[in-house]
Structure 1
């Protein structure tokens, strides 16, 4: 099984534990910074429609739908979509990032979000080729991912596959999926290659000590 395939299989296998961790507030970084950061970035665009790629158990879809935003959540892990559908109203589809990159979507949105959802290499590169097709005029792609500083811990940052970890997420998890690390320069190059340009770069930080908890990028059509 290659790395890209293992990602989806292991997210399916850990869907119940992940859902519990999210809904119980068990992940501190989410509570203190990153959930609020992605919500603030989306709402700053005043969207009427949104697409959440890699929606997981659906928390962001529910949060946006509660504000009368027409939002669609898609995820390649069927078990996570089932968790999302069981949580209440919301529009969801089981759709892998591979399928999105190959076949696209017959819809356009004011905002497309990828919140800690971009783990692959080639799959993500092909996905980004499609993203401009899904944006309304003036629309934005909003990405939140791990900050290079929090991953490299002083070492030289280099693109490449990394072993996953559930550290800080609580109990009940099995093997963690691998993920492909990109530097800020690589994220910027990938976005620009798709025909978009980065218009905002944020670093949500831990209120206790100021450690970088994520990297948040907002991109628009070039």
Structure 2
């Protein structure tokens, strides 16, 4: 394994290790919050905004890209994990192996009406660099949609400050191992990422878990404010 225990590189290492188990878990609907609320929440959010070209960041095994394609969108899914892209291509669609560092370096020569990151912004530096490249990836008036674990729910007993946290596969099967660390951000820090990189925050939604009455996620929508 490469990368320090808390690093963007370690996140990719973990997903390379767990790609097969993750794909099986998604296809089997094993993640309750996704099947009950967050999958539909991200679909509904994307469909509220105009445009047909979509970039699915950290697309994984490709379920969201296929959902958007079925609704008339022209979708490119990208992920840094080759095994996940292989799964995605096997089910149909346009998918490419590409890291956030690749995107930040301008290696994708396309612009999109809509860019979506669904529970896929887990790192520190890689996420900051990706936000810095977002205006170059979006068409004028294009929107960037981010769904993430709600910070107030994800914080647990830890201090409510930005910082690296240990990962966990609690609630998943025995096929998962080597959990990925992740970089915790407060709500204010997420908002600052949008504002600092020339994106007007036009929506902030908090989908509620239907059984627990607590926010299952936070969804941010930022728009290029220039014409």
Structure 2 Cα separation of the partners of residues 147 and 24 of structure 1 = 24
Q: 1:175 aligns with which of 159, 162, 178?
A: 178
Structure 1 Cα separation of the partners of residues 12 and 156 of structure 2 = 27
Q: TM-score, normalised by structure 1?
A: 0.96
Note if 1:71 corresponds to 2:81.
no
Q: 1:141 aligns with which of 144, 153, 162?
A: 144
Structure 1 unmatched runs, 5+: none
Structure 2 Cα separation of the partners of residues 58 and 207 of structure 1 = 26
Residue 171 of structure 1: CA displacement?
Answer: 3.6
Deviations 1:4-33 (A, max 9, x none): 111111101100110011110000000111
4+ residue segments displaced more than 2 Å: 153-156, 167-171
Question: What does residue 122 of structure 1 align with?
Answer: 125
Give me the CA root mean square deviation.
1.2
Matched residue count? 221
Note if 1:197 corresponds to 2:200.
yes
Assess if the C-alpha contact under 8 Å between 1:17 and 1:171 holds in 2: no
Assess if the C-alpha contact under 8 Å between 1:158 and 1:182 holds in 2: yes
Question: What does residue 5 of structure 1 align with?
Answer: 9
Structure 2 Cα separation of the partners of residues 187 and 209 of structure 1 = 24
Structure 2 Cα separation of the partners of residues 96 and 28 of structure 1 = 28
Residue 47 of structure 1: CA displacement?
Answer: 2.5
